[in-house]
Amino acid sequence: MPAIARIAVVVGSWLSAGSIAFAAGTIPGISMTQQLDELAKPLGGGKLFLIQAGTTSTPQNCYQDTSLTLAWPNPVTLDAAGRIPQLFCADGNIKIRLTDKNGNQKLVQDNLLIVGPSGGGGGGGTVDPTTILATGDFKDTYDTGVLTGFVRCNGRTVGSAVSGATERANADAQALFQKFWGADPNLVISGGRGASAAADWVANKTLTLPDCKGRVRAALSDMGAPDSGRISTIYFGCTGLILGCVGGSENTTLTASQLPNIISNGVNTVNVQVAGALNVAAVNNAVNDTAGGLVAGSLHFATVTAANWGGNNTLTGTPNISVTSNNTGSQPHRTVQPTILVTTYIKL
């Protein structure tokens, strides 16, 4: 029966904070695990044979170091507790065969994926995109700190160990530096872009990461298909066809021209301006002037009809009646969708 592998070690257990250049991969679920027999007893002194994928027994070395220089014996001998030591292997796939100390076979598995690039100089390379995050992928995490194997999407910089980068200055940032250098020509390179991503990396330049701070991510408006027209420059603030373009705001203020027309169904106060002389011999009580005689200043009345005036009263000039709205715009108002805040990381 196959041994029981305790998959208790995270795939990234071989990543150290800032010291390893990720120059090799490992076998997830095998490296640094304890192996048990069918009775759940540790396989102390067991043997792990490392074999080329697709072959019967052709050996393939794995190593003690990320530089792939210090080879483990093949087979590897498990310790007294049945633990397999840390293994670093070249990119691609590998076959393993596990036996107890007496040579009784417990497990055979072919075409296991080596997780983590081994090309040196900061990585990139062979990763199965269906099983693990690849360089440049986003990851949202309910946390705020530094995450091993990732950088935060915060608009700071990445570069080599001597570049002076503000988010990550380490050799493990090379794959991301070179990927983003080619993917987005608008990302700022310190000192300007050189002949190539590799040349700028060697020159210890820095690359400015995209800035996700306080922003919600959305898909490009085309993505290899015709433009959907769902993101327009006039409303978003920039075209929806450019990678990394940012737009939108958390509030908006309407101008007077953007306010709807006002139609009143109630009682309005109307100011009547008379261009010329208004002679009033006797003012009818309908206009609320109980004193009678000439009205000095503005004459305000509810309704102008013949019933409001005596027989000898005359109204000269042309009345100019207007309705004025005092609306000149609006106060800022919220446009933010219901949102929860997390930290967005980018895979190195």
Annotate 150-187 with b (16+ C-beta within 10 A) or e (fewer).
Answer: bbbbbeebbbbeebebebbbbbbbbbbbbbbbeeeeeb
Residue 186, pLDDT score: 94
What confidence tens digit (pLDDT) does each residue in 301-337 have? 444 444 444 444 444 444 444 455 666 778 888 888 8
Phi, psi at 227, each rounded to 5°: -55, 130
CA 271 to chain centroid: 57
Copy the structure tokens of residue 253.
Answer: 């203020």
Indicate the pairing of strand 157-159 with strand 168-169.
Answer: parallel
Residue 222, pLDDT score: 94
- Residues with Cβ within 8 Å of 168's Cβ and at least 6 positions away in sequence, in order, are 151, 158, 159, 348
What DSSP designation does 85 have?
A: P
Please give the Cα distance from 326 to 310 (Å, whole number).
Answer: 37
Q: What is the pLDDT along the chain (348 residues), one digit of tens a residue?
A: 344 333 333 333 333 333 333 446 888 888 889 999 888 899 999 999 999 999 999 999 999 988 888 999 999 999 999 999 999 898 888 999 999 999 999 999 998 888 865 444 444 445 554 556 788 999 999 999 998 889 999 999 999 999 999 999 999 899 999 999 999 999 999 999 999 999 999 999 999 999 999 999 999 999 999 999 999 999 899 999 999 999 999 999 988 888 776 655 544 444 444 444 444 443 443 444 444 444 444 444 444 444 444 444 444 444 444 455 666 778 888 888 899 999 999 998
Residue 32, pLDDT score: 87
Please give the Cα distance from 233 to 91 (Å, whole number).
Answer: 44
Apex CA 45: angle with CA 85 and CA 86, to 5°? 5
The residues pairing with 50 across neighbouring beta strands, listed in sequence order, are 96
What confidence tens digit (pLDDT) does each residue in 134-175 have? 889 999 999 999 988 899 999 999 999 999 999 999 998 999
Please give the Cα distance from 27 to 88 (Å, whole number).
Answer: 8
**Domains along the chain?**
1-128 (2.170.14.10)
Copy the structure tokens of residue 174.
Answer: 């090379």
Residue 91, pLDDT score: 81
CA 252 to chain centroid: 23
Please give the Cα distance from 224 to 104 (Å, whole number).
Answer: 55
**Exposed / middle / buried, residue 106 (Cβ in 10 Å: 0-12, 13-18, 19+):** buried
In 3D space, the residue among 110, 112, 105, 108 whose CA is nearest the CA of residue 46 turns out to be 105
Q: What is the DSSP string of 139-172?
A: EEES--S--TTEEE-BS-EEE-TTTT-SSEESGG
Half-sphere exposure of 293 (CA within 13 A, CB side): 3
Phi, psi at 47, each rounded to 5°: -120, 135
Q: Residue 345 belongs to what H/E stretch?
A: strand 343-347
For residue 269, give Cα distances in angstroms to 261, 274, 301: 18, 16, 9
Residue 223, pLDDT score: 94
